[in-house]
Amino acid sequence: TETIRLALAGNPNAGKTTMFNAITGARQHVGNYPGITVEKKEGQASVNGTRFQVIDLPGTYSLTAYTQEEIVARNVLVDERPDVVVSVLNASAIERNLYLAVQILEMGIPVVLALNMMDEARRHGMTIDSARLSELLGLPVLETVARTGEGVETLLRRTAEFSRQRGGRWEQLVISYGPDLDHALGEMTALIEAEGFLAERYPARWLALKYLEGDEEIVANGRAAGELSARLEAMAADVADHCQKTLKTYPEAIIADYRYGFITSLLKQGVLTRSTDHQRID
Which residues would be at the binding site for ligand GDP (CB under 6 A)?
A: 10, 12-18, 59, 116-117, 119-120, 145-147
Binding partner selected for residue 18 from Mg ion, ligand GDP, none, CB under the kind-specific 5 to 8 Å limit: ligand GDP
Q: Specify the stretch interacting with Mg ion by CB under 5 A; choose among 13-21, 22-30, 94-102, 157-165.
A: 13-21
165-174 in b/e form (b: 16+ CB < 10 A) is: ebeeeeeebe
Which of Mg ion, ligand GDP, none does 110 bind, CB closer than 5 to 8 A by kind? none
CB nearer to ligand GDP: pick between 50 and 144: 144
- The annotation status of 37 as a binding-site residue, yes or no, is yes
CB of 115 to Mg ion, least distance (A): 18
182 annotated to bind ligand = no
The item of Mg ion, ligand GDP, none sharing an interface with residue 145, based on CB under 5 to 8 Å by kind, is: ligand GDP
240 binds, among ligand GDP, Mg ion, none (CB under 5 to 8 A by kind): none
Q: Of 107, 253, 217, 87, which Cα lies nearest the Cα of 172?
A: 107
17 binds Mg ion (CB under 5 A): yes
Distance CA 123, CA 146 (A): 16
Cβ atoms of 9 and 159 closer than 8 Å? no
Q: List Cα–Cα distances, 210 to 100, 197, 202, 260, in angstroms.
A: 15, 14, 10, 17
Amino acid at 29: H
User: Is 179 marked as a binding-site residue?
Assistant: no
Determine the size of the site formed for Mg ion (CB under 5 A).
Answer: 2
**Kind plus residue range of the DSSP H or E element containing 143:** strand 141-143
Beta-bridge partners for 29? 42
Beta bridge partners of 9: 87
Of 16-24, 27-35, 95-103, 271-279, the segment contacting Mg ion by CB under 5 A is: 16-24
